[in-house]
Structures are given as C-alpha cells and as structure tokens.
Structure 1
Amino acid sequence: MYIVAPLICFEGQSTRINLIGKRLRQILETAVLLVIVGTVFAGFSVSLLGIPLALAFLMGALSTPTDATATESVSEGLIVPERQENILKMESLFNDASGIILVTAMALWVKNWQFNYQQTFFDFLRSAGGGLIIGILAALVMISFRQFLGRINHDAYNAQILLFVSTPFFIYFIAEELKVSGIIAVVCAGLMQNSESIRSRFITPRQFHNGLVLLRLLRELLNNTIFVILGLLVVRIIRDDLIIGNTNSQWIVIGILLYITNLLVRYLYGLLSKMGNKGSIIFALGGVHGAVTLALVYMIINNVSSAQFDMIVLAEMLVIILSMVVPSIIFRFILNHDMSRKEAGKQVQRLRQEMVKEGLKAVEKIYLPENIRESVVYDLRDQKSANSFTDFWHQWAKASRYPEFNEQEKELEQRALLWAFRAERQYLDMVSQKENRRDYLFELYNEILLAESILLDTENEY
C-alpha cells in the first residue's frame, strides 16, 4: 500500500476540492453503496461455483476498487461525457478506502470463519472518519510548514521537493499507526494540496514546475512497478502450476464471473441514476481496475492458504485485464473520437516546422559573427530534429576541441536565440487565433518558454 498511497494522493492533488461538496451524494453512493452491493452480488455469484462463501466474498471485495489512471488509458483519444468522467474520477478516489475495509473484514472472515457485521460497520465509521481527520490535520501542518519555508527561503528547492514527495508516505504512516484509513487520509491531503498549489504556484515557479514533472514521473514509475510485480507473480504461479501438473482453470471462470457481475451492478446503478442506456454502459465499462486491486491482493497473503492466494491472484489479474481490454474495444464504437495522438503529432510537427522557420528568418535579419551564427542555427534546427547524426558529431567535435565562447560572444548568442524564440512565440500567437486546438499549441509554446528558461538560467553551465 506504500506504493498505492502516493498514487492516490497525487490523483487527489489534480482534483478541485470544491467538486467534493457538489458531488457528495454521488461519492457516497459510488464509494460506499456501490462497493457493498458489488461485493455482495459478486460474492454470492462466485459461491455458486462451489467456492466457500467467505472466500467468494473476499474475491468480490477485491474486485470493487477502480483506478482513474487506468480509466484514462482505455479512453485515450476518445471523448468521455463530462458527467461520467467526473463520477468515475470521484469514485476512484474514495472507493479504495471502502474496498480496503471490506477486504480486511472478508480476510478475517476467511481466517476465522466468522463475520461480525456490526463490528465491520463501526470499523468503517472509525476508519473513514479518523482518516478524514488525520488527513486534514496533517495536510494543514505540512501546507503551513511548506508555505513558511517558501517565504523565508526562496532557494529551498531541494527541501520543498523532499517535503512534496514524502508527504503522502508520512500521512499514510501516521494514519495507519493510529489504526484509521491511510487511504482516506492521503486522499484528503491531496485534495487540500490542490488548493495550495493553485494559490502558491508563482512563489517559486521553478519549484512548482519541477514538482509537476516529478509528480508525472512518480505516477508512471509507481504504476509500472505494481504491474511489473504482478507480472512476475503471475509468471511464478503459472510456472509452479505447470511444474506440479496442476491444470485447474477454475480461476478463469471466477475472474470472468467477477467482472460480469461488477459490470451488471454498475450498469444498473447508472440506470437508477438516470444516466440513460448509453451513459450507464459508459459508467459500467469505465470502472477499470488497476494498481489498487493488486495492492489489496498483497494485503491478504497472510490470511489465506497458498493455494487460495494463487487462485485469487490469477482471478483478480483476469478481472484487471478484462476491465482494460473490453472498454478499450467497446469505447471505440460508442464514444466520439477526439483527435488521435498520431493526428495531433502531425499537427504539432507541422507547426514546429513553421515555427522554427520563423525563428531562422529572424536570425537571418541580424548581424552575427559566423561562429555564433552557426551555433544559433544549429540550436534552432535542433528544435525540429533537422540536424543529422553527422551534424551532431561535427558540433560535438568543435565543442570538445575549441574553447567556449567568451562572455561577449555568450551574450550575443543568448540575445540571438531569445530574438528567434520571440519570433516563434509571435507565430504561435498568430496561429492560435485561427486554430481551435489550443492543447498542442500550448505544448509548443511551453517548449519555447522552457528553452528560454534554460537560456536565462544563471546556474546553467552549457
């Protein structure tokens, strides 16, 4: 869970806290009611296959949490209706805590062969309420400390980044030590940090930008780590089964049944919420499973036998795969298509070519010594990857053989590049008034501003 905790916290940081108040009823319905109903229906369905009821309910509880990042991956290049998109995002943020509490209760049921309904309900209230309080208090402390540190020392970049990265781990650890929901705590902290980011992004812009880059990197790294661990675990289980000659494929039927049951429950909820037939299908298919489900599987390893654990891993793996493959196919037919990545790439490349051409034209109109002009033109052509392999090694040899520019030449080169970048930005400004696709225009604009930032960085040694 120490891998999932920062993932969920970072997801919360990208969500406006005011959306929670507007959608509180939907959050309670999807994060609590839908999880319970899904567990009950899935549990009874699996028990019909001869699986003990406690183990069947445990599998049902494991298959309830959804993953917003996984949902985004299956709908890439498609336009998901705003209502379904918002509900799915809110659901994935909060149903993890419900899933964890249910899984814990079901795992104890499997281990002790008894289930205390009343105790589970009070545990849920204590865990969720305690997580909420700890998350808010811890976030207030961390936000106040970061703000104080940023105002007394604008150069504390490394300390701020360290605080940013360590916050979800710290909050999760404190909450779990106090026996409350660490997941709810990190979600609340992430939501509160969203408002902090909005109102303090220009105190230290470099730190804010580095934080965004680091956040994307960590999310991708943690997601990939979980799936790598799953892949290794599945390979080990299947390999061991083949060695001992175990050909029991019951996990396939269980996995398919779990997925279909959850799909039907989600579809019926969509109809009851007046989403319409198509909207209900989108909501049902949008409940994609991912990292949280895997993390929950690892939680119960000490509560079940080795054979039961292997069957659970394989069944839940199949649920995850189905929840990704099925919507990836069906969404292509029922959702409107956005501009594909390939088409967007072509548009970006076209604009980049024209943009760089404007920069080169601007440089041609000013006087520059030949050695500086050659360096500037090479850098500008590099923006559109127009320099060949030979060009690169030629420039590398010159940089290695000859001394660097003196201060006057460096300033002249800097001014020439800034002049070219200014021309490129003006071109994009003109294009933005004619084309509606602001996203890839901003991508190019951002590249130019980053290039200017590198050029103006006083600590830059290149």
Structure 2
Amino acid sequence: MSVFQVISLIITLVALFGYLNHRFIGLPDIIGITAMGLVVSLIVTAVGATNPEVTQWATATMREVNFSEVVFHGLLGMLLFAGSLHVNLAELAGEKWVILVMATAGVVLSTVLVGMGLYYAAPLLGLGLPFIYCLLFGALIAPTDPIAVLGLLRKAGVEKTLQTRITGESLFNDGTGVVLFLTLLGLVTGAGEASVPQAIWLLAREVAGGLIFGIAAGFAGFYLLKTIDSYAVEILVTLSMATAGYSAAEALHLSAPIAVVVMGLIVGNHGKRFAMSDHTREQLFSFWELTDELLNLLLFGLIGLEVIALSISVRDLLPALIAIPIVLVARWISVALPIGALRQMRQFSPHTIKLMTWGGLRGGISIALALSLPAFAGRETLIAATYVVVIFSILVQALTMGPLVRWLGASTGDA
C-alpha cells in the first residue's frame, strides 16, 4: 500500500471507531477509540490462527507506520503547542514550584524507582534485565499524558488548582522525560556522553537550552503576529512555530518539547492579549482547539491499532502486568515526596496525592520511546510492559477518575 492509502485507512478506521462509540457505547472519545482499536487488533490477531494471511496483511500494513516517527516528527510538536496555547500563564506561574519540582525531580525519582522495582522483580519471573535497561523503561514511562483525564476532571468539578498542576506537570515532564531517556540511551549505545556527570550536564543543557530557545522563538513569533492582521497568515505563523521551531530545537540538540511548550505559552498569553485582533483570536484558537482534538483522536486510535504490529508473546504478558503496580507505586512516591517537601510553601488538600497519582496517565510518547529501544534480549518484554501500562492508564485510570473524584468528595475546595 502507498503512504496515502495507509493514512487514509487509519483515518477511516479512527472515524469509524469514533462513530460507533458515539452511536452505541458513549465512552469519552479518546477512551472509546482506544478501546475499539485494541479490540480490532485482538480480533485480527485471533483470526490469524485460522487465516494467517489476514494477520500478515494487517501486520505489514501497520508496520508501514513508523509509530515513533509519527509521534516525534509529526504529532508531538503540534500537540504540545496546542496544549500549552490554552494554558493560563498566570495560573501556571502561581504553581511554578510544584510544577518545576514534579517535572524534574519527580521524573528522575520515578525513573529510578520504576527501574529498581523492575530490576528486582525481573529475576522472580525468570528474567534477567540489565539495570540500565530497567532505568530506560523507568525514563520512558515517566512522562504523564493527562489529555484523557482533564475533561473528566472538569466534568467532576475539580478545583482549578489541581487541573493547573496536572497540566503544567505533563507539559514539561514530556520534555524532561524524553531528554532523560535519550541521555540514558546514549550511555547504553555509546553514542552519548561517556560518564554520569557528563550525562547530567547534557540533560541540564538540553532542558535549559530548550527553555531559552522557546522564549526567543516565541517572542519572534509574537512580533510577526503583532505586525500583521490576517488570521490565515497568523495561523500559518503558529504552525511554523510548532513544526519548524520543533525541528530547529532538535537540530541544535535542545529539548524540542520544552521549546514548543514555551512558544505556545507565549502565543497563548502575550500573543492573545497584545498581538491579535478579536477576529484573529477567535479563528486561531478555534483552529488549534480542533487540531488538538483531531490529532489526539488519531494518536489514541493508533495506540489501539499498534498492537497488531507488536511482536508480543504470552511469555511477555506476566512481566508486563507486574509493571502496572510498579509504575503506580513509583508514581505515588514521586508525587508524595515532592509534595511533602513543598507543604511549607504551598497548601495541598489530603486528596492531592491520590488524584495526581491516579491521574498520571501514560500515552503515545511512552510507546514511541519504547519502540526506539535498541535490540537486546529483553526488548520485547519492555515494549509489552509499556503497552500494557499505557492501555491500563487509558482504559482503567482515565475511566475511573471521575468516580474517584466523587468518592473522595474532591469536587470542590482547594486541591
């Protein structure tokens, strides 16, 4: 099949999943589409037992889609820009210390805890996973993706402060998580820095460089928006920021996700107030809101369908299932310790740790990173573990977030 035919098929399937979900099931779009994609994948796999040519065709078709490439060089920049565009910078600044600590120390702590948990659990399952690869799994599973849960939080009436904390953490921990993963990967492959101190310096340089580049590119875009009044051209300017800005940051070996988030925050706050006419503001924000929705539906549809292309054996399922409690416990600790340290500076309700733990969903970034792992004996096991954790977070954590909020009585008050 040609690239156009593959893209057309995926869009058609995701549209069909969305229609059937709305017509007959009624789950939130992202959850319903992911679930239906997963069901179709399992049906195709089961059919392969009697009609192997069907599975072979489906597998070959899905493998024409380079999931990592689609995420990192297709969707991520635009999704992060769209997400940060709608974040109130004043509210974000009010929670800056919580977000900063969670998106940096929290990510590192989660990486180490997950890595250690998996390293010590693996021998009990008859597996011998090198510690550095367990750390790689910890790094790729650390970034949270709250897209599916934020709508449920709003519907449940959770206080705005918690929404800001979860959103801010997810926007920035994508960048730190990816940089940490790539830094560890460089140590494994020998393509990166040779020592841990040098790796730490590389991590700091990419994060700080991404921030500085994002500020510079963001205000350059702000100037362009301010000096014209044409909503079509201004939308093109923002598209170039989300795509060319992302690519330029990568070429400079800076954190492209962090750079794009900063650009989006500048355009969505200063640009919105000082650089756009009312008509442009309405058109531009409507465009990015729709783009955000459509790209997310496609991404989560792909997550459901991607299992067709994975070489997951029954042997990999038990370690994958064990990864779920390891990741949840690590998430709880990596939320509880920073919040405990910040209680002298900020006020937190008793439910904050529970909600931030259960609301720490994983998504496409984790799968994309897992698929980029180099070949080694336990690669398929880690890919299976990543996929199972992501599916669990979307189908179980996201779907039960609303009931959890109501059960805790956290629909009102400061979170």
TM-score computed with the length of structure 2 as normaliser: 0.71
1:107 aligns with 2:177: no
TM-score computed with the length of structure 1 as normaliser: 0.64
Q: 1:187 aligns with which of 237, 244, 261?
A: 261
Deviations 1:6-52 (A, max 9, x none): 11111211123334543332222111111111111111000011322
Q: Is the 8 A contact 1:127 1:181 kept in 2?
A: yes
CA apart distance, 1:204: 5.1
Give the equivalent residue in structure 1 for 2:200. 121
Q: 1:328 aligns with which of 393, 396, 399?
A: 399
SS at match of 1:56: helix
| Structure-2 change in CA distance of 1:234 and 1:260 (3 Å) | farther
Q: Is the 8 A contact 1:97 1:128 kept in 2?
A: yes
| Structure-2 change in CA distance of 1:246 and 1:292 (3 Å) | closer
Name the stretch that deviates more: 165-174 or 72-81: 72-81
Number of aligned residue pairs: 325
Amino acid in the other structure paired with 1:106:
L
| Structure-2 change in CA distance of 1:74 and 1:91 (3 Å) | same
What is the rounded CA distance, in whole Å, between the counterparts of 2:286 and 2:87 in structure 1?
17
SS at match of 2:253: coil
Q: 1:312 aligns with which of 354, 363, 382?
A: 382
Deviations 1:76-131 (A, max 9, x none): 52122333222212111211111011111222344349973211211122111211
Higher RCO (Cα < 8 Å, 6 or more apart):
2
Give unmatched runs, 5+ long, in structure 2: 1-71, 124-128
Q: 1:96 aligns with which of 138, 153, 174?
A: 174
Give the equivalent residue in structure 2 for 1:77. 155
CA apart distance, 1:169: 0.6
What is the rounded CA distance, in whole Å, between the counterparts of 1:145 and 1:198 in structure 2?
13
CA apart distance, 1:241: 4.5
SS at match of 1:67: coil
Give the equivalent residue in structure 1 for 2:12. none
Amino acid in the other structure paired with 2:234:
Q
Matches within 5 A, 1:39-438: 39-48=111-120, 49-50=122-123, 51-112=129-190, 116-150=195-229, 156-200=230-274, 203=277, 205=279, 207-237=280-310, 240-241=311-312, 249-274=318-343, 275-298=348-371, 300-301=372-373, 303-305=374-376, 308-324=378-394, 325-326=396-397, 328-329=399-400, 330-336=404-410
Give the equivalent residue in structure 2 for 1:9. 81
CA apart distance, 1:176: 0.7
Amino acid in the other structure paired with 2:263:
A
Q: Is the 8 A contact 1:14 1:194 kept in 2?
A: yes
| Structure-2 change in CA distance of 1:73 and 1:203 (3 Å) | closer
Q: Is the 8 A contact 2:98 2:342 kept in 1?
A: no
| Structure-2 change in CA distance of 1:317 and 1:267 (3 Å) | farther
1:33 aligns with 2:105: yes
What is the rounded CA distance, in whole Å, between the counterparts of 2:312 and 2:141 in structure 1?
24
RMSD: 2.6
CA apart distance, 1:282: 1.6
Q: Is the 8 A contact 1:66 1:92 kept in 2?
A: yes
Q: Which runs of 4+ in 1 moved over 6 A?
A: none
SS at match of 1:249: helix
Amino acid in the other structure paired with 1:26:
V
Q: Is the 8 A contact 2:158 2:411 kept in 1?
A: no
What is the rounded CA distance, in whole Å, between the counterparts of 1:246 and 1:171 in structure 2?
43
SS at match of 2:254: coil
Deviations 1:215-268 (A, max 9, x none): 12211222122223322321232xx556xx766532222244223322343234
Give unmatched runs, 5+ long, in structure 1: 151-155, 339-462
| Structure-2 change in CA distance of 1:201 and 1:149 (3 Å) | closer
What is the rounded CA distance, in whole Å, between the counterparts of 2:312 and 2:144 in structure 1?
29
CA apart distance, 1:149: 2.4
What is the rounded CA distance, in whole Å, between the counterparts of 2:253 and 2:162 in structure 1?
34
Q: Is the 8 A contact 1:270 1:283 kept in 2?
A: no
Deviations 1:117-166 (A, max 9, x none): 2112111221112111211111122221122122xxxxx34322222222
Q: Is the 8 A contact 1:135 1:184 kept in 2?
A: yes
Give the equivalent residue in structure 1 for 2:31. none
CA apart distance, 1:326: 3.0
SS at match of 1:149: coil
What is the rounded CA distance, in whole Å, between the counterparts of 1:247 and 1:63 in structure 2?
17
SS at match of 1:75: helix
| Structure-2 change in CA distance of 1:110 and 1:136 (3 Å) | same
